[in-house]
Structure 1
């Protein structure tokens, strides 16, 4: 497993997403590079630089707000094995979403991170 990147996470209500995207585009002087709605999660995500904005109602965001970071990896299965072998706890099993595999894990130091493997659609 290789870690490809680590992203900070910003949580907003869905009606604040466009305004939040504009703020981070101005801050980083970069355009939004991805914007996806995950119907089964009732969440919309946008990525600007090393920031992922997660928009949805409070109930839809609840589980994901516990995570402090998004860690992009090349293999979610290898990440799960590595984490378990090194004292972390996988809080969710790897789950397929449109365009990715996702999993929440709690590190031995208590940090909760969402692991993501992007896959072609």
Structure 2
């Protein structure tokens, strides 16, 4: 497993998405590189540089708000295996979304992190 990057997580109501994207575009001085609605999760996500913006109602966001970081990895399966060997606990098995594989892991120190493998 190789960690390709780490993103901060920003949770908002869906009607604040455009305004929030604009804020982070101005902050990072770059454009939003990815935006999409994930029907299975009932969430809209956008990525602006090192920020992942997660929009939806409180019920849809609840399980994801427990995670304090998003780590982008080259292989979700390798990440799960390696993390479990190091004492992490898999909270959600890898799940396919339209543009990625995702899972939640709890590290031995208690940190809950979302792991993401982007796919084309």
TM over 0.5: yes
C-alpha distance in structure 2 between counterparts of 1:17 and 1:98, whole Å:
19
Q: Counterpart in 2 of 1:17? A: 17
Deviation per CA, 1:12-55, whole angstroms, max 9, x where unpaired? 00001111001101111111010011011000000001000000
C-alpha distance in structure 2 between counterparts of 1:36 and 1:81, whole Å:
29
SS of equivalent to 1:92: strand
Q: Counterpart in 1 of 2:106? A: 106
Q: What TM-score do you get using the length of structure 2 for normalisation? A: 0.99
- Point out where structure 1 has 5 or more consecutive residues left out of the alignment: none
C-alpha distance in structure 2 between counterparts of 1:40 and 1:92, whole Å:
15
Moved over 3 A (4+): none
SS of equivalent to 2:11: strand
- Superposition RMSD in Å: 0.5
Q: What TM-score do you get using the length of structure 1 for normalisation? A: 0.98
Q: Counterpart in 2 of 1:89? A: 89
The aligned length equals 120
- Point out where structure 2 has 5 or more consecutive residues left out of the alignment: none
